[in-house]
Amino acid sequence: MALSPVVGGGVAFAADANAAKAPKKLSAAKKKAAAKKRLLAGRDKRCREAATKRKLSFPQYRACLKNGKPARQSDATRTITKTVEKIVEKQVPGPAAPPAAPGKKAKNIILMIGDGMGVTHIDAARQRYYGAAGQLNMEKFPTLGTVSTYAVEPGSAKPNYVTDSASAATAWSSGVKTYNAALGVDAKGSVVPTLMELAKQAGFRTGNVSTAEITDATPAGQMSHALARGCQGPVYSTKACQDLEITGEELPTSDVRVTPIADQIARNGTADVILGGGLGRFDASDETALKQQGYAVLGSVAGQVPATKTDLAAAGGKKVFGLFNKGNLTVEKTKQENPSAPEAQEPSLPEMTRKAISLLGDKSSKGKGFYLQIEGALIDKRSHANDAAQTLEEIKA
């Protein structure tokens, strides 16, 4: 065999001068497989183009691959699609919304979240309490917009079309898509900064209010970084906190990503005002850490005595930590029907919100403004229980 040096693209290699042979003939089966592959590649290109231009849903895209072409939309469907696109793209002002002041920037930011609440929830609540022509307060806001809600698979950008509260909270608090159960980390498990952390660094005062446990996914998404949302505390658990699928090995307990969320909240000072439930997630060391940072701790963390609405009304100072139930707060209807029960001493979401705004907006604070996240968590909790009546009550609350 005679070898001769050949130079190609700046790289020297050896070629067999006698190696050129006639190409092998493909069998009938291989020819059929190759033809099918070309067919599917062509279909995939056409369907991807259709998905982009016509905004096909995932099931419609799959059907397109199967049939070779996208299904023809009805006139009614095309009309609805175009109408929705116009509303979203132009952000049509609500009919009762006052015009925005030209050129004036908002000093404070309040993010209000109805956990698990979709358009159908809003529609049902409006019909129930105000009738077809009525409006919920949230519908009086000056603009309307929508966002995509899908998560991604661990370690990749492949879409996971059903999200959870943790990946959703990470998306809106950091601008990064991640896998379900992840908080403050990307799809590969790397820490990403949250909006509340950035606001704090920029000199804003910060607050976090929820009717859920404050260590639950939605509020925790602004104040913590965790591979697994179940790592809430009060103690570390390998099963709850580690995720070997992401990291490939067990991380040391000193790594923030496997530090119980309660520990992080009690020590990182991300939120100046923290109001909600979840007292059972915190212990004596957390109370000590909070007080060392200057928080007024309502109730007793070490004694596991929940704070009350009376404690909240009397609270003052720049930093306040108040948890009003060992778990999630109680639905409003239950409190109204049992006024002598201990749960009736829990503040409502409006009461916590007003107090948080009052504390954060105190004129003695000379900051740039404040950033406050408010979560109506019980909408989701009652939806999980298929409790339509109390779901609507919580939306109204």
Catalytic residue ranges: 165
For β-strands 370-376 and 296-297, DSSP reports them as: unpaired
State whether residue 40 is helix, strand or coil. helix
Query: Could you give the CA distance from residue 334 to residue 274 in angstroms, rounded to a whole number?
Result: 24
Q: Which amino acid is present at 367? A: G
* Nearest partner of 280 among 250, 305, 245, judged by Cα: 305
- How far apart are alpha carbons 367 and 360 in whole angstroms? 10
Chain centroid to Cα 311, Å, comes to 31
Taking each helix axis from N to C terminus, what angle separates 119-129 and 388-396, rounded to the nearest 10 degrees?
80
121 within 8 A of 379, measured Cβ to Cβ: yes
- Quickly tell me which residue has 């859920």 as its tokens: 212
Contact 145, 91 (CB under 8 A): yes
CA distance 268 to 210: 19
Distance CA 292, CA 75 (A): 65
Q: Which is nearest to 222 in space by CA: 113, 295, 381? A: 113
Q: Which two tokens stand for residue 368?
A: 């740039």
- Please give the Cα distance from 28 to 293 (Å, whole number): 76
Do 356 and 206 touch, CB atoms closer than 8 A?
A: no
Alpha-carbon Rg for the chain, nearest whole angstrom, is 28
What is each CA distance from 57 to 45, 71, 82, 161, 328, in whole angstroms?
A: 16, 12, 15, 11, 36
DSSP-based three-state secondary structure for 397: coil
Contact of 238 with 250, CB cutoff 8 Å: yes
Alpha helices in 6-118 (DSSP H): 28-54, 58-67, 75-90
